Structure 1
Amino acid sequence: MTAHEAVRNPITAQISRADDATAAVRRELTACWAAVINAGGAVVPMDCPLPPVTEAALRPAVERITRDLSPDRSRLLLARVDGALAGWMLLRREQHPLVAHCGIVNHVQTHVRFRGRGVGTALLRRAGDVARDDMGLERLRLAVRSGLGLEDFYRKAGWTEVGRWPGALRVAPGDDRDEILMSLAL
């Protein structure tokens, strides 16, 4: 298979407990995240410097994510191809009763070695299933950075743009981008 051939069925799994996020899994998540950010990905955590980033700079964010995993509130979804981590995302539920029926998708990323092969689409499809069937959610939401074509990717996966925060994200001096708000009814 060439680098650009579609991955027909990446194996997707979920981790819903902190104890199941082994040291090896946390290392894989960190390495993937660093590769994605340094290749121009829009998944920079709030407490991390702007790119380029090191794995050491991302470890606290990965530790926080894995520590907070809970079957009811927060799950990691992983995609693997031939045993390698091909991508991952975080699926969360807010606890406040006004929004507890909605989930939030964060950190959607495909490792640079697997881009353009359907891994992100497989993760999103699995997220909808897990959110609806396992977590009892009725709607998902996410925010993406404009200027990268991400909104088109999500539209193709059934998501709808519901709003924008104009110029909310400053990538560099003179390079402000909209934050695009998207929603998916389950």
Structure 2
Amino acid sequence: MTAHTAPAFEVIARPEDVTPELRRQLIACWETVANAGGAVIAAAFPLPPVSACDVGPVVDELVRGLDPRRGRLLVAVIGGALAGWLVVRRDLHPLVAHCGVVNHVQTHPRFRGRGIGAALMDRVRDVARDEMGLERLTLAARAGLGLEDFYRKLGWVEVGRWPGALRIAPGDDRDEILMSLAL
């Protein structure tokens, strides 16, 4: 077994803290993951193949939405390279302000198999609970990729499905799996 360097984590809560280099790496990661078949397609860009021109405006919008009260960008870095990232957000409405949503969970393909995704999901628990005061996290995952098993092993519970909600291609409809984690 080969020993791998553990990632360093950075939590970013303000748009001005996203450097041009980090922005570039976020776009490149998302483009690479999406084109490799990852379940990280955004409504604002087409189905793969996607380019940096498709992904860039979506990353910019995501960055503009960072706010210490509402959301964080969590990045995992190894040797200066972005190994993975995710976003955790909360809605400030009093009925749901105790809950957060995890989105855009990505591990760069060149770092797959090193536990980066699991490490991000472990770290986001601490960020959500300790920095944001959240009590529960939710996420939606695409069926057919084994993602529900990945999240289940990390303590997440399936709470529902939207059958056939995601059309990957004609004749390839997938369930959207809704998952929850008490913190």
TM range (shorter): over 0.9
Q: Measured at CA, do residues 174 and 153 of structure 1 come closer, stay the same or move farther in structure 2, by a change above 3 Å?
A: same
Q: Which of 4, 9, 15 matches 2:6?
A: 9
Supply the AA of the counterpart residue of 2:48: P
Give unpaired runs (5+ residues) of structure 1: none
1:106 partnered with 2:103 = yes
| Distance of 1:132 and 1:7 partners within structure 2 | 28
| Distance of 1:131 and 1:185 partners within structure 2 | 11
Which residue is 1:141 aligned to? 138
CA contact (8 A) 1:6 1:116 kept: no
> TM-score if structure 1 supplies the norm length?
0.96
Which residue is 2:172 aligned to? 175
| Distance of 1:143 and 1:124 partners within structure 2 | 14
1:46 partnered with 2:43 = yes
RMSD of Structure 2 on Structure 1 (CA): 1.1
**Deviation for aligned residue 1:6:** 6.2
CA contact (8 A) 1:78 1:85 kept: yes
Which residue is 1:158 aligned to? 155
Which residue is 2:52 aligned to? 55
**Deviation for aligned residue 1:119:** 0.3
Supply the AA of the counterpart residue of 1:19: E
SS of 1:129's equivalent? helix
Identity, % of aligned positions:
64
Q: Measured at CA, do residues 143 and 6 of structure 1 come closer, stay the same or move farther in structure 2, by a change above 3 Å?
A: farther
**CA deviation digits over 1:41-87, x for unaligned, max 9?**
00001010000100110011100010111111011000011111000
| Distance of 1:7 and 1:79 partners within structure 2 | 14
Give unpaired runs (5+ residues) of structure 2: none
